[in-house]
Amino acid sequence: MRWLPFQLNPQIPAEGVPRADYLERKFGNRKGAYERVTAIGAKVGIPFAFDLILVQPNTVNAHRLLTHADRVGRQDEMAEALFRAYFTQGANLTDVARLTAIAVEAELDAGEVAAYLGGDEDRAAVLDADGNARNSGMVEGVPFFIFNRKVGVPGAQDAMVLLDALEQSLA
């Protein structure tokens, strides 16, 4: 399994934007927009804390971290740490120091990560992969699953739907 880059909001500046402004522009005045997701998360042990998210981030550096983590065999752990930090702690994913701390939680080396994020390594590759996914016409949101590079499944799906897609991809 690999995590591939796809930005929901590629137009967001590198420093991010205030989350409240972003939500107002995207959804209007929708109080409780995340109540259903929060309730479902609680049932499966995910304590979503959307109210703690103050910055809607540009996610290029987070995607770069996933690329870096893949090289050292820690991509799943990095993805899990990013999701946990953002969705349950409201972490600002545009803050390099916070991204470095999240990477340490995924057992990546702090010095290596800080140096990596301080440069531009993999930035072009991440942007190219994001653009390719966007231009494919298949990927319009997340999650999006691609099985064996053959079968794509959009959205959060029942396990049986994913199993069927996996079986189709192997046929």
Q: Which of 62-66, 82-86, 143-147, 153-157 is predicted with the least confidence, judged by mean pLDDT?
A: 153-157
Q: Which of 16-20, 100-104, 148-152 is predicted with the least confidence, judged by mean pLDDT?
A: 148-152
What separation in angstroms does the CA of 142 have from each of 19, 81, 146, 155? 19, 17, 12, 6
Check residue 145 and report its DSSP letter.
E
**DSSP β-bridge partners for residue 151:** 147
> How many C-beta neighbours within 10 Å does residue 142 have?
13
Domains of the chain by start residue, with CATH: 17-138 (3.40.30.10), 141-171 (no CATH)
Span 3-13, pLDDT tens digits: 999 999 999 99
**Secondary structure element (H or E) that encloses residue 26, with its range:** helix 19-27
What separation in angstroms does the CA of 6 have from each of 3, 28, 168? 9, 24, 24
**DSSP β-bridge partners for residue 146:** 152
Instruction: Check: CB of residue 120 under 8 Å from CB of residue 107.
Output: no
pLDDT, mean of residues 41-66? 96
Angle, helices 60-71 vs 110-118, to 10°: value is 130
Looking at residue 139, its pLDDT comes to 87
Span 101-149, pLDDT tens digits: 999 999 999 999 999 999 999 999 999 999 999 898 888 888 899 999 8
Looking at residue 108, its pLDDT comes to 98
154: phi then psi, degrees, rounded to nearest 5? -85, 150
Which residue, among 118, 86, 115, has the nearest Cα to 102 in the 3D structure? 86
